[in-house]
Amino acid sequence: MNKKFIIVILMFSMAFSGSRTKSLVFPGWGELSLNESSRGQKLIAADIILWLTVFNGKNLSKNYESDYRAFASEHAGVNWNHTDYLFAVDIGYYDDLNAYNSAKARQRSLELETDLNGGLIREYGHTMYPENGDFDWQWDNDSNRKSYKDMRISSANWDKYANFAIAGLLVNRVISVIDVMYLEKMGSSTPIQSQVITNGSNDLQLKLTFPF
C-alpha cells in the first residue's frame, strides 16, 4: 500500500519541476520555496495529520484484529486457518454454526465450497458453511459474542479511517501543485485552501475551500 503510494508520487513528479515537484513530494514545500510560508505551513500541517492517521489507523486496526481473533478462539473455539473476513463478520451475529446455517437454510442458501487447501470459495447463493469441523464456532455467552463484534467493527473502522487518510494525502498533493502553479503564474496567493479537521477520535474530515 505505502509502496504503491510512493511509486505514484514519483511517477507524477516526473511531469513537474522545481516548486511543483516539491509540492508533489511534500505539500507545502513548494509554497515555502516561493516565500508563501503561511500557505505552506497549513498544507504541511494537514499532511502530517494525514500521515499520522494512516499509520495509527493501520496499527490500531491490526491490533484490534489480533485481539478479536484471539478472543474468538478462546471464547468460541474458532479455528482461523481456512477462514476469510466474511466468516469473521458472520460469527459476530450468530451464537454457533448451527444457528447460522439454519438461518441460511431458511433463505434457501447453498453450502459454500472449499478449494484444495480448505479455503472458502464464495459464489452467489452459497453462504452455508461446511460442517466439516473447519468452520465450527460456539460462543460461551452472548456478552462475549457482542464484545467480539465490537472489536471486529473497531478494527474495520480504523482501517477505513486510514484508507480515507491515504486518499486525503493524494488530494493534498494535487491542491499544493495547483496552488504552486497559480502562484508561479499570477504571483499571488491562490484561493484554494486545505484543512484537516478532527472531531473526536473517530471523525476525520479533509476540508477544501474555494472562495471564488
| pLDDT band, residue 112 (cuts 50/70/90) | very high
Interhelix angle 2-13/142-186, rounded to 10 degrees, is: 10
Q: Is residue 44 part of a domain?
A: yes
Position 179 scores a pLDDT of 86
Give mean pLDDT, residues 61-86: 97
For CA atoms 62, 206, 51, 15, give the dihedral sign.
positive
Give a yes or no: residue 127 inside a domain. Answer: no
User: Is residue 21's pLDDT more than 90?
Assistant: no
| Residue 166, domain extent | 1-61+162-212
With respect to residue 55, please indicate whether it lies within any of the assigned structural domains.
yes
Q: Is residue 5 part of a domain?
A: yes
Please measure the distance between the N-terminal and C-terminal CA atoms of the chain and give it in whole angstroms.
36
pLDDT band at 212 (very low <50, low <70, confident <90, very high): very low
pLDDT in tens, 28-72: 888 888 888 888 889 999 999 999 999 999 999 999 999 999 999
Q: What is the mean pLDDT of residues 118-123?
A: 92
- Model pLDDT, residue 18: 75
Give how many domains the chain has, as a whole number: 1
Whole-model pTM: value is 0.75
Residue 27 has pLDDT above 50, yes or no: yes
Residue 184 lies inside a defined structural domain of this protein = yes
Taking only the tens place, the pLDDT of each residue in 152-197 is 999 999 999 999 999 999 999 988 888 888 888 876 554 555 566 6
Within-domain flag for 48:
yes
**Residue spans of alpha helices (H) in 117-196:** 142-186
Across the strands, what pairs with 193?
209
**Is 70 exceeded by the pLDDT of residue 150?**
yes
pLDDT at 211: 47
User: Going by C-beta distance under 8 Å and a sequence separation of 6 or more, which residues neighbour residue 57?
Assistant: 158, 159, 161, 162, 163, 165
* Residue 117 lies inside a defined structural domain of this protein: no
Higher-confidence residue: 134 or 15? 134
What is the structure's pLDDT at 70? 98
135 within some domain: no
